[in-house]
């Protein structure tokens, strides 16, 4: 009898353990190149850090705004936003979360080495009113501040000071500081083990404030493993070695949809793929043209644009999983105008004529820099474009590399022309214009922070500052005009908006997000 | 020439049908590869000639096949047959160059160790022993990794082909050195060597003019077999993405790229380069086997 009791007890314990451990083994092609929350404003980094760190305001399942570490916020004066903080929140290493940490985190995001300046550019200062209240004072009235704050992660002041990480890691200089490999957030998961490029293990933070809320999931552990080879990543999913693939290769979707035990979630992403061009140097770094910069000539930019057969790329390279575009952001973003979403038509003969007109009848040579594990089929897109340009006489050398060295390279402006993708976490046009097209010199923090082509247009700058302060119809009109300039001036060559299929074992359910972020706090493993 | 056709070697060659067949196949492979710019239907390196809309065309004998592309096209519309011919060129170049390099180093070390004996012998052979304990692919990976870390990317891309040759060659030389040393130990006490020594010839002269020609038989056999191994080693390195630069795709590179499309049903992109590699390595290997048997007096 006693033995049977023990056996029953043991079985009970075992089943309890089995029910408790809900591990999601997750894979994607690229690995985050840092764990510092303010150093790289890059989706690949955010997809891991958003599991660990919380912002004041978080994104809901429909990408709306929802209380995060702040329970409420209001614009008490035109230039003053007041945030009431959540009580009883602790960091993973035990520190209590207070207004001091908010002030510190916002200041940290404003540092010169930060890549998140775009989100805090209008902020004059953050002031702790009392331990549970913070006032954010802006230089100008900023109507979309909450949308921006929703992307700024909160760190512990005492932890950062104790570990010498009071400013973000400088990735441009390949610096390594404590936060490159260590984290201390308030989020749903804590970093249990980090081996760059090999394995990142996150464990459920049982004391997370949000677990009490409705609709949260049951994941206890996340094991992230980057697998850069498409075939290997899919083989791992099909064989049950991984449970969730963020970026399944497009060519395998057909097979995945019909595979047993695997499901595919599909939807559009708020991300636009384009080509950036060096337009500020008197001479290109990687070209055979001497003494002048062909890309600063609008005719050459249009020629390169019109040489691209986007329909072929959409049909063959993307297998239908993209939306070709002629504008800067997709329709989910405030300010989108369908009339401005018109591409220059594909016309190789016109492209050749434009090149001849600009003084390059025999074309020229150029190197296209391209990531090979950041965007969907990025290298293949670049190869296709290199072929199309070569056909109109622009002999293109392709330089494809992993995202780590790629970002470091373009952030040093060590490029002539590059493939890039831009997501809009704030879902507002200003974010794209300000980061990608504002002049950097003399501008505010965040202006032109990803404008590596050095595009500069006074009219565009004026419109951007109007977007920053004006509201209502006047603001929409400014966006509209800026979109028109974008179309006329071709500062970037737009390609398409991405579609993002996610593939997973059928026992996992997780809301599909248009910002391509898997929020494992909402994932359920059956 | 007549002497060659009268020789035992030629007789044993014509007697073996497999050998004749593999010689013909090897000849076609090598000929096709070296004449690629003349024979290939397309130039896979000419970006301007690629048509994206022709991408993923299956081989000619399937329903959607296109006669312009006998073995189909890859994801960029590149002709698979032409890519294989150009790829085989790179593979064979690396194979031959690495084997010649390994032979030169190995023969020299073997001669010195065998003829000089004593400390030189002990030292050189211990180095060879140490080298033999490492799998050759590991040595090749190591060399490649060190060069990659030491040189900037641009420089590395330019010399990558020679790095691969060096990496494979350096991992293969002990086999040659061991064999040559063994033969040299036998030859050095023969009367013609003693005679040469008595008339006061220098050591270098004896080694190169008298001993060397008599130890080359086995070297030829190992060299042929090693050629097949070197081609495979290069394909392995390129398959792992550390071999030749992507601008000069070898067969291994083609197999790796095609691998991404294996699950989606576009099998021809990876299978045909794979078949080409197997056929090439097998034919060279069979020739090497025959050569070994033909030159072995015990089997006559």
pLDDT tens column, B107-137: 999 999 999 989 999 999 999 999 888 887 8
Cβ neighbour number for residue A114 with a 10 Å cutoff: 27
Contact A231 B53 (CB under 8 A): no
Residue pair B29/B88 in contact (Cβ under 8 Å)? The answer is yes
Helix (H, G, I), strand (E, B) or coil at A500: coil
B75 touches chain A (CB under 8 A): yes
A226-257 exposure pattern, b = at least 16 Cβ within 10 A, e = fewer: bbbbbbebbbbbbeeebbbbbbbbbbbbeebe
> How far, CA to CA in Å, does A56 sit from each of A158, A325, A522, B16, B232?
18, 34, 18, 81, 57
pLDDT (0 to 100) of residue A18: 45
Q: What CATH superfamily is the domain A21-224+506-525? A: Periplasmic binding protein-like II (3.40.190.10)
Rounded mean pLDDT, B223-233: 92
Nearest to A194 by CA among A242, A226, A153: A226
Q: How far is the C-alpha of B201 from the C-alpha of A303, rounded, in Å? A: 74
- What pLDDT is attached to residue A172? 78
| β-bridge pairing A199-204 and A524-525 | unpaired
The rounded distance, in Å, linking the Cα atoms of A179 and A160 is 8
Higher pLDDT, B242 or A268: A268
* Tokens encoding A39: 């150093």
Smallest Cα distance from A435 to chain B, Å? 30
Which of B45, B46, B47 should be substituted to probe chain A, the one whose Cβ sees the most A Cβ atoms within 10 Å?
Answer: B47
Placement of tokens 């991984």 in the chain: A242
A254 at B interface, C-beta within 8 A = yes
Cross-strand pairs, A28: A226
Residues with Cβ within 8 Å of B21's Cβ and at least 6 positions away in sequence, in order, are: none
For position A173, what pLDDT does the model report?
79
Residue A424 Ramachandran class (φ > 0 left, ψ -120 to 50 alpha, else beta): beta
* Residue A67, φ and ψ in degrees, nearest 5: -60, 135
- Given a cut of 80, whether residue B282 has pLDDT beyond it is yes
**String of DSSP letters for A309-366:** -HHHIIIIISTT-EEE-SSSS-TTSBT--GGG--PPPP-HHHHHHHHHHTT-TT--EE
CA distance A394 to chain B (A): 9
Residues of chain B contacting A238 with CB distance shorter than 8 Å: 263
d(CA B118, CA B123): 9
* A194, two tokens: 């980090």
Beta-bridge partner residues of A190: A203
Q: Which residues have C-beta within 8 Å of that of residue A197, sequence separation ≥ 6?
A: A31, A226
Would you state the pLDDT for residue B91? Answer: 93
Contacts of B291 (CB under 8 A, 6+ apart): B220, B221, B224
- What is d(CA A518, CA A511) in angstroms, rounded to the nearest whole number? 8
Euclidean distance between CA atoms A68 and A209, whole angstroms:
9
Show Cβ contacts of residue A422 under 8 Å, excluding neighbours closer than 6 positions: A271, A272, A274, A328, A329, A432, A435, A436, A450
Distance of alpha carbon A411 from alpha carbon A415, whole angstroms:
9
Q: Which residues of B touch A400 (CB under 8 A)?
A: 246
Residue B74, chain A, CB below 8 Å: the answer is no
Select the residue of A231, A315, A400 nearest B259 (Cβ to Cβ).
A231
**In the predicted model, what is the mean pLDDT of residues B246-264?**
87
Which two three-digit tokens encode residue A351?
């492209």
A409's tokens: 């390279």
Q: Touching check for B135 and chain A: CB below 8 Å?
A: no
Chain B hits for A388, Cβ within 8 Å: 52
Among B245, B249, B263, pick the best mutation site for testing chain A contact (most A Cβ within 10 A).
Answer: B263
CATH 3.40.190.10 domain locations along chain A = 21-224+506-525
Q: What is the pLDDT of residues B63-102, one digit of tens each?
A: 888 898 999 999 889 999 999 999 999 999 999 999 999 9
Provide the pLDDT for residue B257. Answer: 87
- Closest Cα of chain A to B46: distance in Å? 8
Parallel/antiparallel/unpaired status of strands A395-401 and A365-371: parallel
Under 8 Å between Cβ of A188 and A204: yes
| Contact yes or no for A229 and B246 at CB 8 A | no
- Does the beta carbon of A400 lie under 8 angstroms from any beta carbon of chain B? yes
User: Which residue's structure tokens are 């952030």?
Assistant: A411
Structure tokens at A408: 């470091």
CA B47 to chain centroid: 29
**Residues B53, A316: contact at Cβ < 8 Å?**
yes
CB-based contact, A388 to chain B, within 8 Å: yes
Asked whether A516 and A500 are in contact (CB, 8 A), the reply is yes
The 10s digit of each residue's pLDDT in B49-64 is 888 888 999 999 988 8
Q: Which residues in chain B touch residue A404, judged by CB atoms under 8 angstroms apart?
A: none
Give CA–CA dist B252/B243, Å, rounded: 9
Main-chain dihedrals φ then ψ at residue A201, nearest 5 degrees? -110, 130
Give me the residue from A312, A317, A396 closest to B47, CB to CB.
A396
pLDDT of residue A444: 65
Q: Does B265 touch chain A (CB under 8 A)?
A: yes
Contact residues on chain B for A391, CB-CB shorter than 8 A: 47-48
Q: Where in chain A is the domain with CATH 3.10.105.10?
A: 269-499
The pLDDT value recorded for residue A143 is 85
Best mutation target among B264, B265, B268, B269 (most A Cβ atoms within 10 Å) is: B264
Q: Is B200 on the interface with A (CB under 8 A)?
A: no
Asked if the C-beta of B105 comes within 8 angstroms of chain A's C-beta atoms, the answer is no
Helix (H, G, I), strand (E, B) or coil at A193: strand
From A382, which residue of chain B is nearest by alpha-carbon distance? B76
Q: Which of A56, A143, A144, A58 is nearest to A106 (CA)?
A: A56
- How much is the pLDDT for A8? 54
pLDDT at B139: 83
Q: Does A412 touch chain B (CB under 8 A)?
A: no
Contact A367, A382 (CB under 8 A): no
Distance CA B244, CA B253 (A): 8
A208, A466 in Cβ contact below 8 A? no
Q: Do A390 and B263 touch (CB under 8 A)?
A: no
Where do the domains of chain B lie, and which CATH numbers do they carry?
92-250 (1.10.3720.10)
Residue B96 sits at the chain A interface (C-beta within 8 Å): no
Nearest CA in chain A to B57: A316
Nearest to B262 among A231, A387, A390 (CB): A231
| Matching residue, tokens 């997000």 | A513
DSSP at A522: G
Domain A269-499 CATH (choose: 3.40.630.40, 3.10.105.10, 3.10.20.600, 3.30.1300.10)? 3.10.105.10
Residue B185 CB burial class (10 angstroms; 0-12, 13-18, ≥19): middle
Q: B263 and A251: CB-CB below 8 Å?
A: yes
**High-pLDDT (> 70) share of chain B, %:** 98
Count contacts between A and B (CB, < 8 Å): 60
Q: Chain A partners of B266 at a C-beta cutoff of 8 Å? A: 251
CB contact under 8 A, A316 and B53: yes
B52 → closest Cβ in A231, A309, A400: A309
Kindly indicate whether the ipTM for this predicted assembly is greater than 0.85, answering yes or no.
Answer: no
Does residue B298 have a pLDDT over 80? no
Are A524 and A509 in contact, with CB atoms under 8 Å apart? yes
Q: Please name the residue of chain A whose CA is at the shortest distance from the CA of residue B247.
A: A398
Q: Are A348 and A385 in contact (CB under 8 A)?
A: no
Mutate to test the interface with B, among A29, A197, A227, A230 (most CBs of B within 10 A): A230
Question: In tens digits, what is the pLDDT along chain A, a chain of 526 residues?
Answer: 455 555 555 554 444 444 468 999 999 999 999 999 999 999 999 999 999 999 999 999 988 899 999 999 999 999 999 999 999 999 999 999 999 999 999 999 999 899 898 899 899 999 999 999 999 999 988 888 999 999 999 999 999 999 999 999 988 777 899 999 999 999 999 999 999 999 999 999 999 999 988 889 999 999 999 998 888 999 999 999 999 999 999 989 988 999 999 999 988 999 999 999 999 999 999 999 999 999 999 999 999 999 999 999 999 999 999 999 999 999 999 999 999 999 999 999 999 999 999 999 999 999 999 998 899 999 999 999 999 999 999 999 999 888 888 998 998 999 999 999 999 989 999 999 999 999 987 656 678 889 999 999 999 999 999 998 888 899 999 999 999 999 999 999 999 999 999 999 999 999 999 999 999 999 999 8
Rounded (10°) angle between helices B80-116 and B118-133: 150
Are B87 and B157 in contact by the 8 Å Cβ rule? The answer is no
Distance of CA A311 to the CA centre of its chain: 25
Q: Is A387 on the interface with B (CB under 8 A)?
A: yes
Closest-CA residue of B relative to A348 is: B48
B47 at the A interface (CB within 8 A)? yes
């Amino acid at each position: 009898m006693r033995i049977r009791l023990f056996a029953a007890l043991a079985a009970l314990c075992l089943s309890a353990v089995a029910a408790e451990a809900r591990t999601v083994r997750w894979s994607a092609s690229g690995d985050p190149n840092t764990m510092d929350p303010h150093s790289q404003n890059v989706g690949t980094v955010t997809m891991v850090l958003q599991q660990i760190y919380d912002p004041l305001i978080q994104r809901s399942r429909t990408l709306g705004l929802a209380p995060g570490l702040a329970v409420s916020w209001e614009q008490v004066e035109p230039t003053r936003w007041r945030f009431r903080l959540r009580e009883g929140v602790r960091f993973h290493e035990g520190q209590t979360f207070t207004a001091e940490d908010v002030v510190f985190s916002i200041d940290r995001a404003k540092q010169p080495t930060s890549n998140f300046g775009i989100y805090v550019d209008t902020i004059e200062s953050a002031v702790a009113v009392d331990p549970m209240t913070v006032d954010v004072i802006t230089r100008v009235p900023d109507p979309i501040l909450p949308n921006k704050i929703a992307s700024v992660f909160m760190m512990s002041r005492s932890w950062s000071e104790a570990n010498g990480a009071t400013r973000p890691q400088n990735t441009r200089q390949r610096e390594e500081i404590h936060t490159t490999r260590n984290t201390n957030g308030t989020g749903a998961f804590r970093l249990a083990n980090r081996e760059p490029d090999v394995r990142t293990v996150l464990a459920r933070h049982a004391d997370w404030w949000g677990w009490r809320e409705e609709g949260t999931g049951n994941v206890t552990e996340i094991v992230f493993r980057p697998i850069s080879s498409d075939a290997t990543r899919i083989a791992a999913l099909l064989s049950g070695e991984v449970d969730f693939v963020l970026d399944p290769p497009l060519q395998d979707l057909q097979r995945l949809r019909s595979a047993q035990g695997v499901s595919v979630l599909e939807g559009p992403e708020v991300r636009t793929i384009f080509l950036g061009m060096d337009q500020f140097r008197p001479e290109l770094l990687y070209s055979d043209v001497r003494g002048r910069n062909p890309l600063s000539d609008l005719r050459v930019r249009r020629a390169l644009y019109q040489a691209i057969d986007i329909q072929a790329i959409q049909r063959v390279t993307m297998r239908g999983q993209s939306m070709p575009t002629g504008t800067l952001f997709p329709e989910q973003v405030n300010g989108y105008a369908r009339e401005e979403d018109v591409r220059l038509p594909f016309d190789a003969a016109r492209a050749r004529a434009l090149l001849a007109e600009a003084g390059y009848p025999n074309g020229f040579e150029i190197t296209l820099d391209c990531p090979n594990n950041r965007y969907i089929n990025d290298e293949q897109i670049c190869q296709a474009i290199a072929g199309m340009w070569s056909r109109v006489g622009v002999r293109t050398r392709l330089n494809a590399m992993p995202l780590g060295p790629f970002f470091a390279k373009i952030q040093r402006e060590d490029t002539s022309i590059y493939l890039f993708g831009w997501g809009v976490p704030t879902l507002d046009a200003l974010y794209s214009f300000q980061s990608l097209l504002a002049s950097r010199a003399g501008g505010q923090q965040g202006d032109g922070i990803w404008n590596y082509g050095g595009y500069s247009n006074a009219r565009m700058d004026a419109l951007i500052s109007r977007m920053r302060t004006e509201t209502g119809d006047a603001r929409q009109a400014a966006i509209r005009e800026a979109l028109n300039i974008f179309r006329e001036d071709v500062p970037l060559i737009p390609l398409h908006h991405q579609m993002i299929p996610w593939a997973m074992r059928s026992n996992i359910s997780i809301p599909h997000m248009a910002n391509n972020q898997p929020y494992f706090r909402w994932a359920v493993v059956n | 020439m007549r002497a060659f056709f009268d020789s035992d070697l030629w007789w044993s060659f014509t007697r073996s049908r497999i050998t004749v067949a593999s010689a013909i196949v090897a000849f076609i492979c090598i000929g096709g590869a070296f004449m690629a710019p003349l024979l290939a239907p397309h130039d896979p390196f000419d970006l301007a000639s690629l048509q994206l809309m022709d991408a993923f065309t299956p081989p000619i004998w399937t329903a959607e096949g296109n006669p312009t592309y006998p073995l189909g096209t890859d994801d960029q519309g590149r002709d698979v047959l032409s890519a294989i011919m150009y790829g085989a060129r790179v593979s064979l170049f690396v194979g031959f160059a690495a084997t010649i390099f390994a032979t030169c180093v190995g023969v020299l070390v073997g001669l010195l160790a065998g003829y000089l004996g004593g400390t030189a012998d002990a030292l050189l052979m211990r180095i060879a022993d140490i080298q033999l304990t490492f799998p050759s692919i590991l040595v090749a990976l190591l060399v490649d990794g060190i060069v990659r870390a030491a040189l900037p990317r641009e420089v590395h891309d330019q010399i990558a082909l020679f790095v691969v040759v060096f990496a494979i060659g350096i991992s293969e030389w002990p086999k040659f050195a061991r064999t040559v040393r063994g033969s040299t130990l036998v030859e050095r006490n023969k009367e013609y060597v003693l005679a040469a020594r008595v008339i006061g010839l220098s050591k270098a002269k004896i080694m190169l003019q008298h001993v060397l020609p008599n130890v080359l038989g086995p070297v030829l056999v190992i060299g042929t077999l090693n050629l097949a191994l070197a081609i495979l080693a290069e394909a392995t390195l390129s398959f792992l993405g550390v071999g030749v630069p992507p601008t000069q795709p070898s067969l291994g590179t083609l197999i790796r790229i095609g691998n991404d499309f294996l699950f989606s049903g576009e099998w021809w992109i990876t299978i045909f380069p794979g078949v080409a590699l197997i056929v090439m390595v097998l034919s060279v290997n069979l020739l090497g086997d025959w050569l070994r048997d033909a030159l072995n007096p015990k089997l006559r």
